Amino acid sequence: KATVPEASTTTPDTNTEATETSSPTEADANIATASVEETPQPTPEPESVAKQKTSSAEDLFLDNGSGIYNYAASVISSGGTEHVFYCSNRKSTVVTDYICYRQCTMQSDGTYVYSDKQTVLKPTSGTWDGTHVCDPSVIQGSFSYNGSSYCYLMAYLGCNTTNSQENKIGLAVSNSLSGGWTKIAANPIISIPYDTAHADAFQWGVGQPSILSIDGGGNVLICYTQGTWNLTSQIASVWNLSDLNN
């Protein structure tokens, strides 16, 4: 995925890890060269809740020459703790977007305690989001899926392309902010068709979702970017997501 092309703006009314490949994304500016790994090995998820203390989030989230990028953060507050979702790669200089997570709590001396980096959502190989997942937005509410109730909903951008086009938007649910996110079967919930009549033009698709709970239940305002071959727009619409099977 990539930065949306500049254009006029209007406002109208679980997972199998994918092979990591080099592709242009918003993070390209942070990485001089992006390598392709023919046989990527999954990075083990942190098992402990070991924490590190810092006076600045920059110590944790800036590249600092490591080849690891972090961007598109979404923060949700719960019980005095800030839960930070963001897009990141997991291997130095390899441009594959994952949705990662840290939680932080301010201490009495003004410093913060951050949890270890965790990957909470991955590309699913061979599907619509098989290349990248990114741009998370998380809210609390009341949602039903496959007979179970969930209190957290995530909207995210996914794609299975390597040219930053044909992005789409999907949803995932969980009862824990730190993990256990399940992608719903109806994904992608928002997409636009690729216009073959303008195949020579850049067609970004839809993405950069931002969601807002209207009633604390299942009614949700979804704002997102749409990029066609000749127009970039900001769209906002209200959805009833109480039952994610219907």
For residue 146, pLDDT beyond 90: yes
Pairing assessment for the beta strands 118-121 and 205-213 based on DSSP bridges = unpaired
Is 138 within 8 Å of 152 (Cβ atoms)?
yes
3-state SS track over the chain: CCCCCCCCCCCCCCCCECCCCCCCCHHHHHCCCCCCCCCCCCCCCCCCCCEEEECCCHHHHCCCCCCCCEEEEEEEEECCEEEEEEEECCCCCCCCCEEEEEEEEECCCCCEEEECCEEEECCECCCCCCCEEEEEEEEEEEEEECCEEEEEEEEEEEECCCCCCCEEEEEEEECCCCCCCEECCCCCCECCCCCHHHCCCCCCEEEEEEEEECCCCCEEEEEEEEECCCCEEEEEEEEECCECCC
Q: Which region among 34-38, 117-121, 153-157, 177-181 has the lowest average model confidence (pLDDT)?
A: 34-38
- Cα pseudo-dihedral 29, 32, 38, 40, rounded to 10: -70
Q: Do 156 and 119 touch, CB atoms closer than 8 A?
A: no
Q: How confident is the model at residue 57, as a pLDDT?
A: 59
- Residue-level pLDDT at 58: 61
The pair of structure tokens assigned to 205 is 């698709």
pLDDT tens digits for range 85-132? 999 999 999 999 999 999 998 888 878 888 999 999 999 999 999 999
Q: How confident is the model at residue 65 (pLDDT cuts 50, 70, 90)?
A: confident
**pLDDT value of position 66:** 85
Task: Inform me whether the pLDDT recorded for 3 exceeds 50.
Answer: no
Lowest mean pLDDT among 42-46, 61-65, 107-111: 42-46
pLDDT value for 33: 33
The model's confidence at residue 56, banded by pLDDT at 50, 70 and 90, is: low
What's the pLDDT band for 30 if we cut at 50, 70, 90? very low
Residue from 2, 45, 243, 44 nearest 144 by CA: 243
pTM: predicted TM-score of the whole model, two decimal places: 0.77
Confidence of residue 78 (pLDDT cuts 50, 70, 90): confident
pLDDT at 87: 96
Average pLDDT, the chain: 82
Q: pLDDT for 163-197, tens place per residue?
A: 999 999 999 999 999 989 999 999 999 999 999 99
Query: How far is Cα 74 from Cα 86, in angstroms, rounded to an integer?
Result: 6
Lookup result for tokens 């219907």:
246
Q: What is the pLDDT of residues 192-245, one digit of tens each?
A: 999 999 999 999 999 999 999 999 999 999 999 999 999 999 999 999 999 999
Q: What is the mean pLDDT of residues 7-23?
A: 43
